[in-house]
């Protein structure tokens, strides 16, 4: 039976095909605590094991992790590094490759080895535990409700699609004329396409104002979000990503 990883992710933390599985990967999970620097509070770790019937998928049921209902969690997977340029290889914390949201405020600790640098500090993934399920959300706990599936035969043909690629790292000019870099939330994305939606981190930007549907005005009819773990450092155009999954709205 074929596994659908997003069905599995509703109730479990799952990692597909880690390169090195001995020792087994671990889930490192806790709650974001602001500070200078921020930390992972109430830290837990749990071993991942191959799922029954799916030997390439390692995971653990969320119900077995002692999580509190309605709580937003930050987490990484601890794996054995397979990068040939890191010698000797270490155990590292990596971003969930299929994370719905990542939080660049909270980075994995720097590995104490000369071959590792700040570029190897991966951001924490974010998820909410609610009603026994793992629910995609923003770092503040805001949930995103996707649009209903398009009925068969009703989708636009490929030659009619106008696709807009949207990075999750946005910028704006503040009142002093300086560039501010921030992270757009699901609410900010919805404010670009839904006149009734209100922006969050980028409230006050005219294109996201209530009553606007900026991308629709541009003639956009398909939106693709670039990978949520795109490089936070250089903010240049391109993928520069630390994971390779791209969710679509």
**Same domain (yes/no): 22, 42:** yes
State residue 249's pLDDT score.
Answer: 31
Where does the pLDDT of residue 238 fall: very low under 50, low under 70, confident under 90, or very high at 90 and above?
low
Q: Total structural domains in the chain?
A: 2
**Confidence band for 228, pLDDT divided at 50, 70 and 90:** low
Q: Are 192 and 209 in contact (CB under 8 A)?
A: no
State whether 10 and 124 are in the same domain: yes
> Same domain, yes or no, for 151 and 122?
no
Specify whether 58 is located in the same domain as 112.
Answer: yes
Shared-domain flag, residues 130 and 161 = no
> What tokens were used for 178?
């300086």
Which CATH number fits the domain that encloses residue 69?
Answer: 2.60.40
DSSP 3-state of 180: strand
Query: Could you tell me which residues come within 8 angstroms of residue 145 by beta carbon, excluding any fewer than 6 positions away?
Result: none
Same structural domain, 202 and 125: no
What does pLDDT average to over the chain?
A: 82
Q: Where does a domain end: 71, 103, 135?
A: 135
Among the candidates 135, 169, 203, a domain finishes at 135
pLDDT band of 106, cuts 50, 70, 90: very high
- Say if residue 150 is in the same domain as residue 110: no
Given 74, 102, 135, the domain boundary residue is: 135
Tell me the DSSP string of 76-141.
EEEEE---TTSSS--EEEE--TT-SEEEEEEEPPPPSSTT--GGG-PEEEEEEEETTEEE-B-TT-
What are the Cα distances from residue 76, in Å, to 45, 66, 109, 197, 206? 10, 16, 11, 31, 36
Which pLDDT value is given to residue 187?
A: 77
Structural domain for 119, as ranges: 5-135
**Pair 16, 107 in one domain:** yes
**Per-residue pLDDT averaged across 158-187, rounded?**
71
């Amino acid at each position: 039976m074929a596994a659908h990883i997003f069905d599995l992710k509703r109730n479990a933390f799952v990692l597909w095909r880690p390169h090195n599985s001995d020792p087994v990967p671990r889930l490192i999970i806790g709650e974001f605590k602001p500070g200078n620097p921020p930390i992972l509070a109430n830290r837990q770790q749990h071993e991942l094991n191959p799922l029954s019937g799916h030997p390439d998928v390692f995971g653990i049921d969320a119900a077995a992790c002692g999580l509190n209902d309605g709580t937003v969690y930050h987490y990484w997977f601890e794996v054995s590094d397979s990068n040939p340029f890191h010698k000797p290889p270490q155990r590292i914390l990596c971003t969930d490759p299929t994370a719905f949201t990542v939080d660049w405020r909270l980075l994995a600790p720097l590995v104490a080895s000369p071959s590792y640098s700040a570029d190897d500090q991966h951001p924490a993934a974010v998820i909410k535990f609610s009603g026994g399920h793992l629910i995609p959300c923003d770092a503040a706990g805001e949930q995103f409700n996707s649009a209903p599936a398009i009925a068969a035969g009703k989708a636009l043909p490929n030659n009619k699609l106008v696709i807009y690629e949207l990075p999750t790292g946005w910028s704006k000019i503040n009142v002093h004329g300086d560039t501010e870099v921030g992270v757009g939330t699901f609410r900010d994305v919805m404010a670009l396409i839904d006149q009734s939606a209100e922006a969050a981190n980028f409230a006050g930007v005219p294109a996201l104002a209530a009553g606007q549907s900026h991308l629709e005005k541009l003639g956009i009819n398909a939106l693709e979000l670039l990978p949520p773990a795109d490089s936070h450092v250089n903010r240049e155009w391109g993928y520069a990503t630390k994971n390779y999954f791209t969710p679509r709205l």
